[in-house]
Homo-oligomer: A and B are copies of this chain.
């Protein structure tokens, strides 16, 4: 077998695998957005059957033969990235015994139900046995993949599934600096006191959805290559010609629908903007979950929560809903960016959001390292929350039981949210450097320049380079927390003028 033949066979195999992964994604989308209540049992069988097919393809010994026969020397950068990613996923798939993969899938499905009940009953004790079991399987999984034997070897292996090349210790160092900056800003805002205006009005469902679709359009979402539907927890699904956004409507709070739509639009733009020439190839997919999150957050926060854009949105809101309880663009901007130390991560403002994430990262890192026992998790959570937010957790559903992630074995995922915010901060600084007139466009509701910049520098890059390099190349230098902190300090000092 020549190297060329092996490379062609590998790409053909990966294309079919990617097509079946797309089917798997469609099953999940359908389950959340379309499936009738009684369809769950069949769907579980369907998803399980497809997952077994995928596992078979991902561990196909032919993959090993092709990879061994390929000489990467003559390949271009994309070709080398294809081989790199194929090797990475083949090794990860083959190092994990099938029985362990199946045990993880089954246990996580069961433990998610246990978690949902425990959260509804506000009983941490009800969840702990399931958490112990899934944690133990996650550590076993990590041990199959870990390189080296340092205290973060297991966590690094888990994180690599979501942020290739990510490192717990480097992440922790950066998060330490970010937390210091955010705690300081949070404290100064709290001390400054005063509250921001709130919306007050009538926000009919259909009008909210129409404006949300308008926002998706404004951001450049190609609705001929996707659709928008309602779900309980919004997400984005699919790639390239079929990227589906989901949203939800709270009749009391239109920001929920509007900003979650812009968030998911940011994810969707990334998938719709991947390099066409690399369709069906590993190098043509998104670079990492962190890079993905940077695209959703920069759209949602740096662009759609900016003062000029809020000015334009204020006019759209009053046109759509009439009296919304705030009378000026400035007050609207203040309402959009109201800072408040809440319990719930998904409702957090820009100042508090990353504090939520970083405490989860710290706790799960300790759990995986064996430095924290599940029996001590609630106390550790509550201590950390008091220290970071200055508030006592009132009940577990507002605390350690609020997120689904750990119940389904997602350890190593949380840090990608904050990495995304850090990347978004760095990308926005680069955009402002390249586009000095950005604010006047934003004031007219025109984000096309900024989105084009992202398309060119991030979306079109696919995953030819590793995630940190994709961002560094886009920004013209390594991305760290400073740009995000500068942005947040500048924005919120101006918003809360008593902040010293």
Contact = CB atoms under 8 A, between A and B. Distances in A.
A227 interface: yes
Contacts of A99: none
Given A36-B223, A39-B225, A53 B241 contact: no
Interface string A1-42: 000000000000001100110110011001000111111111
A42 B241 CA distance: 7
A341 interface: no
29 contacts: A15-B45, A16-B45, A19-B42, A19-B46, A19-B49, A19-B50, A20-B49, A20-B53, A22-B42, A23-B27, A23-B46, A23-B50, A26-B27, A36-B223, A36-B224, A36-B225, A36-B242, A37-B224, A38-B224, A38-B225, A38-B242, A39-B238, A39-B241, A39-B242, A40-B241, A41-B241, A42-B241, A42-B242, A43-B242
Contacts of A342: none
B19 A48 contact: yes
A399 to B, nearest CB: 34
A26 B239 CA distance: 18
A4 B223 CA distance: 54
A38 B280 contact: no
Interface string A82-103: 0000000000000000000000
A207 interface: no
Nearest to A48: B19
A35 to B, nearest CB: 6
A242 B35 contact: yes
Contacts of A49: 16, 19-20, 23
Contacts of A238: 39
Contacts of A39: 225, 238, 241-242
A240 interface: yes
A222 interface: yes
> How many chain copies?
2
Residue from A15, A48, A53, A224 whose CB has the most chain B CB atoms within 10 Å: A53
Given A26-B30, A36-B226, 18 more contacts: A16-B45, A19-B45, A20-B49, A20-B50, A20-B53, A22-B45, A23-B46, A36-B225, A36-B227, A36-B242, A37-B225, A38-B225, A38-B241, A40-B241, A41-B241, A42-B239, A42-B240, A43-B242
Contacts of A48: 19
A52 interface: yes
Contacts of A23: 23, 27, 46, 49-50
A217 B50 CA distance: 33
A231 to B, nearest CB: 14
Interface in A41-90: 41-43, 45-46, 48-50, 52-53
Contacts of A41: 241
Interface string A232-244: 0000001111101
Task: Please provide the 9 A-B residue pairs with the shortest distance between their CB atoms, ordered closest to farther.
Answer: A39-B242, A38-B241, A38-B225, A19-B49, A19-B45, A16-B49, A19-B46, A37-B224, A23-B46
A224 B27 CA distance: 18
A27 B35 CA distance: 13
Contact of A34 (B36, B53, B227): B227
A121 to B, nearest CB: 26
A15 to B, nearest CB: 7
Contacts of A225: 36-39
